[in-house]
Chain A
């Protein structure tokens, strides 16, 4: 890893190799969701498809995750500005919003179950469970990253180093990505029904 950092310092790279690697990984994740949504489209076109209203929770939840993106970005802004208090508290807020999102998604699944759509029920429902479930798993991954970021923020003495800035930027990119992914999925679900 030292190798990568050093070439960056020389200014020979426009983008840090690790950040680039993250973007490549996100392209891979995107392909997985592209496959899910394509499968959804193909299966729907084949007929025998039950239409139902998405749980309201999914729509409220979009607000939650968008807000968390905002708090995360502000945390990054205050990290660079050196405002330690706001930086730490906004990170905590992001973590809480992230956990809230996963909890509310779960409530959404419960609501689906309650209207008679168990996971093994009509396949249109199964798709929603699966796709939103895999998305929630990626949000949980993001929460793990946030926990690490928060530990850094609280345990380590505050200092803006290139190394920590890079870490923060990578966490930020990933968090924005899961946010964007949910918005894409929601728009997709709405357009498809």
Chain B
């Protein structure tokens, strides 16, 4: 088996020969007799310290949360699209949150609608697009692509997953409280979040929400510290920073953003917890609840918004940068061309990372921040368009003239670029504090961020899953279903979010349970129905993807060659099913950058092949 699956690079030369000859012997296997990491079921599949297994744990947990979070959106879309229809059939699932009138018409309880919107945001932003995306691919790819045996600390890496798991359990439990989960919006602005008596979800629901997210932040920090350390300290011989694949650059900067911004969220949460539990007035000013004056005085709710968005804005790049890195890699491999402008890509990642820290107040233009301060934030927000445009230009130039293989991975990569352009352009509108007067808190905002960070990040994730599925499971996903999944999702996602721009421009506010009392918005009824139907179709396609995913784990087409995509990077030089430590013998040493495609008439040159005689100079 092992003899036929190698990639023959030149007569008599394959990966194993190269690794044996040029590799770096770290005596890893001398110390690992009887592999304590993978000796029984529990430490192989549950409390695993192997980065590849932890990646799968993050991915599958993320998928479960995506189904829950996405399913919630269907329920509130039903309310928005078909407010007159009876939802009595949802009673077995939602119980008391569906109230049935005497005529037998089931209605979704308004407070639960807000809870659904809140949970949908929290779950998708944190559990799916942060843990599920960066957690999965940073874990899978960082050690494999930099040529390390595992993360710097496999133990902390395991803890990172289990803190995420605990956060998930607590959040899941909060869904079943009799007062309902937190319902004050995923941003948890005070006073709704700071006063337990403010709404039914603000009591126990909010307490559990906060605890869950504190666990989640611990998970992100443990993971991030590991990713940064591994990239900086455990690169194999010859792997200079300028030879790193763009995936690794993206995960690296993502981890730095997380490390510097999530602690700020924690401090905001601590102030919030003090306000809730100890009666302080950090965020609470003179407030009356039910005609009763509260003791709080002199606090500033805007202060919370500053602290929240100091995380919140870097967070959107924590979500999108890994997707950008994955897409850069996937497009280059499947276009059979080196990535266009490698260094420009790296510098634009760094620039986006830096700028993400000085634009947070653009989420607060309408919160009463000083207009002069707004000007500062407008300028820096619009400057982000520059590195973003550099990236888009480079992706398109990479595709241009390429010998593109149109499979599910590359299609989702191309779809990502499309979504990123559409959503990015509307970001330029929203970054203007003047236009924000009309647009803020409308469906225009909803459309913008769903396209640019929801759908685009999902597309990046799908591209990564289809591309690295063989690395994870040694099999392929069904390609026909994959293409169907892509085209349906692409068309469907535009069908959902494109019309929302028009709703937003007309001023339709987000987060409203019902528009009954707005005569102006009545004629948008059909549009809302259309959006809801599109959402149901898109969700069904994601279920198809999940079926394809799990079916293929056991019954997919088997991977028979080590390097099925003809990629240059190190992860494809391991055996098809790499054991603990990734490489059975020596560690590979890196001889060139990660994007030698189509060089000197060769289809691709792996990173482990030393410069050959007569080879043209490295220029990038």
Q: Are B282 and A32 in contact (CB under 8 A)?
A: no
Q: Does B298 contact A (CB under 8 A)?
A: yes
The verdict on A3 contacting B28 (CB below 8 Å), with A18-B152, A31-B261 known, is yes
The verdict on A24 contacting B225 (CB below 8 Å), with A6-B27, A120-B295 known, is yes
Q: Are A24 and B271 in contact (CB under 8 A)?
A: no
Q: Are A4 and B234 in contact (CB under 8 A)?
A: yes
Q: Are B152 and A17 in contact (CB under 8 A)?
A: yes
Q: Are B263 and A35 in contact (CB under 8 A)?
A: yes
Q: Does B170 contact A (CB under 8 A)?
A: no
Which residues of A lie under 8 Å from residue B501 when comparing CB positions? none
Residue of A nearest to B261 (CB): A31
| B332, chain A: closest CB distance, angstroms | 29
Complex: how many Å from CA A120 to CA B284?
12
Could you list which residues of chain B lie within 8 angstroms of chain A, going by C-beta atoms? 26-28, 31-32, 148-150, 152-156, 221, 224-226, 228-230, 232-234, 237, 259-264, 266-268, 270-271, 274, 278-282, 295, 298-300, 303, 306-307, 310
Could you list which residues of chain A lie within 8 angstroms of chain B, going by C-beta atoms? 1-4, 6-7, 10, 12-13, 15, 17-18, 20-21, 24-25, 27-29, 31-36, 39, 42-43, 46, 48, 119-120, 122-123, 126-127, 130, 134
Which residues of A lie under 8 Å from residue B267 when comparing CB positions? 32-33, 35-36, 39
The verdict on A15 contacting B233 (CB below 8 Å), with A6-B27, A28-B221, A39-B267 known, is yes
Q: Are A17 and B303 in contact (CB under 8 A)?
A: no
Number of A-B contacts (CB under 8 A): 121
| B243, chain A: closest CB distance, angstroms | 16
Q: Are B153 and A126 in contact (CB under 8 A)?
A: no
Which residues of B lie under 8 Å from residue A120 when comparing CB positions? 278-281, 295
Residue of A nearest to B306 (CB): A42
Provide the main secondary structure of the chain A interface. Answer: helix
Q: Are B307 and A39 in contact (CB under 8 A)?
A: yes
Complex: how many Å from CA A120 to CA B276?
11
Q: Are A21 and B281 in contact (CB under 8 A)?
A: no
The verdict on A7 contacting B233 (CB below 8 Å), with A1-B153, A25-B225, A126-B280 known, is yes
Complex: how many Å from CA A39 to CA B152?
34
Q: Are A123 and B229 in contact (CB under 8 A)?
A: no
Which residues of B lie under 8 Å from residue A6 when comparing CB positions? 26-28, 31
Q: Are A43 and B282 in contact (CB under 8 A)?
A: yes
Residue of B nearest to A30 (CB): B263
Partner of B229, one of A24, A29, A35, A134: A24
Q: Are A39 and B233 in contact (CB under 8 A)?
A: no
Q: Are B152 and A28 in contact (CB under 8 A)?
A: no
Residue of B nearest to A36 (CB): B267
Complex: how many Å from CA A27 to CA B262?
11
Complex: how many Å from CA A33 to CA B356?
20
Partner of A20, one of B229, B278, B298: B229
Q: Are B221 and A20 in contact (CB under 8 A)?
A: no
Complex: how many Å from CA A34 to CA B225?
19
27 contacts between A and B (CB under 8 A): A2-B31, A3-B234, A4-B234, A7-B26, A17-B234, A18-B153, A20-B152, A21-B225, A21-B226, A21-B228, A21-B229, A24-B224, A24-B228, A28-B260, A31-B263, A39-B271, A39-B282, A39-B306, A42-B306, A43-B300, A48-B298, A120-B280, A123-B282, A126-B281, A126-B282, A130-B270, A134-B270
Q: Are B263 and A1 in contact (CB under 8 A)?
A: no
Residue of B nearest to A29 (CB): B263
Residue of B nearest to A24 (CB): B225
Q: Are B270 and A3 in contact (CB under 8 A)?
A: no
| A128, chain B: closest CB distance, angstroms | 11
Complex: how many Å from CA A24 to CA B230?
12
Q: Are B280 and A21 in contact (CB under 8 A)?
A: no
Apart from A3-B148, A20-B229: 17 A-B pairs, beta carbons within 8 A: A1-B154, A4-B153, A4-B233, A6-B28, A17-B233, A18-B153, A21-B225, A24-B229, A28-B259, A31-B260, A35-B267, A35-B307, A42-B300, A43-B300, A46-B300, A120-B295, A130-B270
Q: Are A123 and B298 in contact (CB under 8 A)?
A: yes
Complex: how many Å from CA A15 to CA B282?
41
